[in-house]
Amino acid sequence: MGKMHADEAPIDEQLVLRLVAAQFPQWSGLGVSEVPSSGTVNAMYRLGESLTVRLPRIAGGVSDIEKEFEWLPRFAPLVPVRIPVPVGLGEPGDGYPWPWSVQEWIDGDIAVAGAVVEPGGLAEELAGFVRAFRVVELPGGPAAYRGGALGSQDEETRKALDQLEGSIDTATALAAWESALAATPAAAPCWVHGDLMPSNLLLDEGGRLAAVIDFATAGVGDPACDLIPAWNLLPASARLVYREALGVDDDAWNRGRGRALSMALIQLPYYRHTNPGIAANAQHVIDEVLADFS
C-alpha cells in the first residue's frame, strides 16, 4: 500500500529494528515484520511472537499513542474481550519524529464484511462489548473523536457528496444524511470506542469475537457512534439482533446510520486510490445504508 497522506512519515522494518534496538534492548533480537492492515493513521509491525509495534504515520496520530498508553490498561479488566495492552512507550529517534508504542500481540483474523460465519452470534458479542464499554466509570475521559453533534460533520459530508456525484446515488445519500441530522441528539454521553470498523475487530477460528483493537478515537460521546458495525460488517439479517441487544431507539439508530454513512462518504474519495481495503468497505457501507434507508 502506497503513501496515503501528504505529510506521512517514512516507516519500514529497518527503522523499527533500529528504534527497538536503541530503546528496548531486551527485545532487540526479535524479528520484525509489517502487519498488513487497512489502517490509515498508524503503521503496525509484529515484533517477535508476542508483541506489536505501533507507529503514527502522521502527526495527528501522536496523541492517539499517548492516549492508548494511558487508558488501555484501565479498560482491559472492564470489557469482556481482549484489547491490546501497551508494554512500552518509545520516543522519537533515528529520524522518526514522534512517540510510538509496543503492545501485546493478539492472535485473530480481521473481520471481513460479507464473510462473517455466524453473524447473529457476532452481533451479540459485539453488543456485549459495547454495553460493557458504555458503563465504564472512569472519570476524566477525553471527548470521543467522532462523538460530538452530527452537525459538526455536515460540511465535510456534503463536500464528499459533491465529489461522489455520478458514482453513487447522492440524492438518497443526502436524504439519509439529513434524516440523521434531524434525529433527536443523545440524552447522555458515555464511553464509546468510536471506530468499530471490521479492521479493528479480530475473530477466532470459529468466527467468534476474539479482540477489539485500535482505541485511538475512544472517548466520551454519543453512544450511537458504536452502532456502525450494523452497516460496515453485519449483514441485514444480523442488524436487528445488534439493535435489539443494545436496546436502540429510532433516533439513536438514525444517528448511528448517519455516522456510518458520513464516515464512508468521506473515506471513499480520499482513499479510493491509496487504500483499497478502506475504499471497498466504504462502498459497502454506502450500499448497505442506502438499501436500509430506502
With 70 as the cut, is the pLDDT of residue 252 above it? yes
Average pLDDT score over the chain: 94
153 and 187 in a single domain? The answer is yes
Q: DSSP letter at 142? A: P
Mean pLDDT of 187-199: 95
87 and 129 in a single domain? The answer is no
Confidence of residue 8 (pLDDT cuts 50, 70, 90): confident
75 and 209 in a single domain? The answer is no
What the block records as the C-alpha cell of 179 is 434524516
Mean pLDDT of 173-178: 98
User: What is the tally of structural domains in the chain?
Assistant: 2
In which domain, by residue range, is 230 found? 109-293
Name the H helices within 78-165.
119-134, 154-163
- Among 200, 203, 216, smallest CA distance to 86 is for 216
17 and 150 in a single domain? The answer is no
SS3 of residue 141 by DSSP? coil
With 60 as the cut, is the pLDDT of residue 1 above it? no
The pLDDT value given to residue 173? 98
Percent of the chain with pLDDT over 70: 97
CB-based contact 209:109 (threshold 8 Å):
no
* CA gap 221, 192 in Å, rounded: 6
Last residue of a domain, one of 104, 132, 163: 104
234 and 146 in a single domain? The answer is yes
Mean pLDDT of 221-242: 97
Looking up residue 120, the CATH number of its domain turns out to be 3.90.1200.10
The pLDDT value given to residue 287? 97
Structural domain includes residue 84: yes
Q: Residue 247, Cβ neighbours under 10 Å: how many?
A: 9
Percent of the chain with pLDDT over 90: 84
Name, in order, each residue with C-beta under 8 angstroms of 107's C-beta and a sequence gap of 6 or more. Answer: 202, 204, 210
